Chain A
């Protein structure tokens, strides 16, 4: 692992300061892709070959949409994935599906059941990464659902212990990441939203991360994304995690939990959520600049990554695009203010 962020700075970056801008992962699918899926599901006339072509086109389109928004590190908006647990569970041996369950409101996911030993049968994300890296001009990040979340957000009918299941899955995630790194991936984000639900299990997640990074070569950036929880229950413990970056959702709560992180020395880089992904109101550039400056209260600019609170897939596409565009503009403005000395490294107006 390495904390070297400079290799993600674009050659034509306009400012001396560099706030790395990226996304958490998911992005709204183009309407035509959802229609294509329906056709593919319902009709043999839209065959596998046509579906694969549609997904490739969507991946190319959204990767480009991220680049046109000005993001420094991009992904393809997870066009090949329907849901963050389901996608992986369909590729891991030992899982079965019984139907959707509610997350909130009318948002559901196909929560799978583990009915026998989990096994690594095929690469999970290799195709997604290789395609995206091939079409992207900018560096590509690979978000991957973490083992603790894969365990916690499944019904366990086989192991009788979420901890044991999480460790078994961590070994599979390690195998997958080794394959991704061999294919060229250098920026991996482990998504562990389940840690927010059961923060007392921070040590289990720590052990999972140790297993995940075992044997990885230097030069691979590992991020951890956690969202919608009480961060005081996992901090400062997370300072000991073998990660380069910790990415959190804080815009949704208007930074009411930021002080959790200001007390001790925050060890990893901070990935700060600066736009709310659960409201269709597009934050203004000025508003987002203020949010970014909140992050500077925790880490200096060279350790601050800027992203939306979470995946943006539930937003209308136009809203998601506008939020990301404004986010990038705001980051560039804050960099400019840092360069000019209008604000100091702590985000204070000078």
Chain B
């Protein structure tokens, strides 16, 4: 069994030490101080420096696919909506089952393309010509928001998918892969009828780009029906959380197979214990052995975004991933 192993991440990095204090001073600590898409020049400069630092640090670690890092995403995966002109932000609400919070985006009008994420990626592309883009998937993004415009959950999901497709269509050419994060598949499993529509929504987003598109579920695994629907989408690969519930993820791979390309969450994005090279590769090997179809290539990543970690441990995890795949490419 030969499986190409590429080290990357699913974004959402912690702010570097210097910029964390600088941005807190520039912006403040209240709800009203968070990003709205119209930052002052000094704030924009601080985020530009953060972005450059992320690219350089990933390159120093030796990762195979670099991401922009999303340092500016104050509202975590809800960010693309929170900065949209047809969205107002409500109270701070809990971010899944974590000790994290974000402003609840309330959609009040049509979700037209905003260009916010494309502009971040274009800035990153000045320093890196083969980027991995990371976005919330349509189901999870809709789940983080409140709809006051589309009128039904189905119409809202479609609206969010169209919005994401518009953003993706404006990505720079440097974007080689797009990872859609769908923690909502595990935390709030959709019913069978919704699963069909979710597959269509993902196809809407995937059709907007020539980049490879992967859909990553974390904090658990999708249920059987949704997984089969995901296998049937036009995406290029699926992601598996091998930290939270490796059994559930490998069972899906054993019973239904996998796409030839997978994203394997083999490093714990929420624990400071840094995995050894052997642990990382053992987790990937166990998964590949269980899969009933051949896995040609695996992106080895943390199971979640890395903002949960202190900066030193975040960087140690980047180094660990790169070290684990060294010589395996």
**Which residues on A are within 8 Å of B, measured CB to CB?**
98-108, 111, 113, 152-153, 155-157, 193-194, 196-198, 228-230, 252-253, 276, 278-280, 314
Contacts and interface: CB of A to CB of B under 8 A. Distances in A.
Contact of A279 (B24, B31, B94): B31
11 contacts: A98-B312, A100-B20, A103-B101, A106-B24, A113-B273, A155-B271, A194-B99, A197-B94, A197-B98, A228-B101, A279-B30
Nearest to A101: B310
B328 interface: no
Interface in B209-233: none
B65 interface: no
Contact of B102 (A104, A107, A156, A229): A104
Nearest to B17: A99
Contact of B29 (A101, A107, A230, A252): A107
Given A99-B310, A228-B94, A106 B101 contact: no
A108 B308 CA distance: 11
A193 B94 CA distance: 11
Contacts of B313: 98-99
A29 B311 CA distance: 27
A279 B101 CA distance: 15
Nearest to A228: B94
Given A108-B20, A155-B271, A252 B307 contact: no
B272 interface: yes
B97 A198 contact: yes
Nearest to B25: A106
A152 B92 contact: no
Contact of B101 (A104, A152, A153): A104
B4 interface: no
Contact of A252 (B28, B91, B312): B91
Given A157-B272, A193-B99, A279-B30, A101 B309 contact: yes
B29 A197 contact: no
B33 interface: yes
A278 B92 CA distance: 8
A44 B312 CA distance: 28
A314 B94 contact: no
**Interface class of chain A by DSSP:** loop
Contacts of B312: 98-99
Most chain A C-beta atoms within 10 Å of own C-beta, residue among B23, B34, B94: B94
Contacts of B273: 113, 155, 157
Given A99-B312, A106-B23, A278-B30, 16 more contacts: A98-B313, A101-B14, A102-B15, A103-B99, A104-B92, A104-B101, A105-B29, A105-B30, A105-B74, A106-B29, A157-B271, A196-B94, A197-B98, A198-B97, A228-B101, A278-B91
A106 B100 contact: no
Given A103-B100, A104-B101, A198-B97, A252 B310 contact: no
Interface residues of B, number: 37
B53 interface: no
Nearest to B28: A106
Nearest to B90: A253
Given A100-B310, A156-B271, A314 B29 contact: yes
A152 B99 contact: yes
A2 to B, nearest CB: 32
B101 A101 contact: no
A299 B200 CA distance: 49
Contacts of B93: 228
A101 B312 CA distance: 11
B149 interface: no
Minimum-distance CB pairs A-B, first 4: A99-B310, A104-B101, A106-B24, A155-B272
A81 B20 CA distance: 22
Most chain B C-beta atoms within 10 Å of own C-beta, residue among A101, A108, A193, A196: A101
B22 to A, nearest CB: 10
Interface string B128-144: 00000000000000000
Nearest to B27: A106
A253 B91 contact: yes
B69 to A, nearest CB: 13
Interface in B82-96: 91-95
Nearest to A110: B310
Contacts of A153: 99
A230 B102 CA distance: 15
Contacts of A155: 270-273
B27 A229 contact: no
A280 B311 CA distance: 30
A314 B31 CA distance: 11
A107 B312 CA distance: 18
Contacts of B23: 106
A102 B16 CA distance: 12
Contact of A99 (B28, B270, B311): B311
Contacts of B97: 197-198
Most chain B C-beta atoms within 10 Å of own C-beta, residue among A101, A103, A105: A105
Given A100-B310, A101-B14, A314 B30 contact: yes
A99 B309 CA distance: 8
Contacts of B27: 105-106
A100 B14 CA distance: 10
Interface in B2-45: 14-15, 17, 20, 23-24, 27-34
B96 to A, nearest CB: 8
Nearest to B268: A155
A79 B15 CA distance: 28
B30 A102 contact: no
A111 to B, nearest CB: 7
Contacts of A105: 27, 29-31, 33-34, 74, 101
B177 to A, nearest CB: 26
Contacts of B91: 252-253, 276, 278
Nearest to A196: B94
A276 B93 CA distance: 13
Nearest to B15: A102
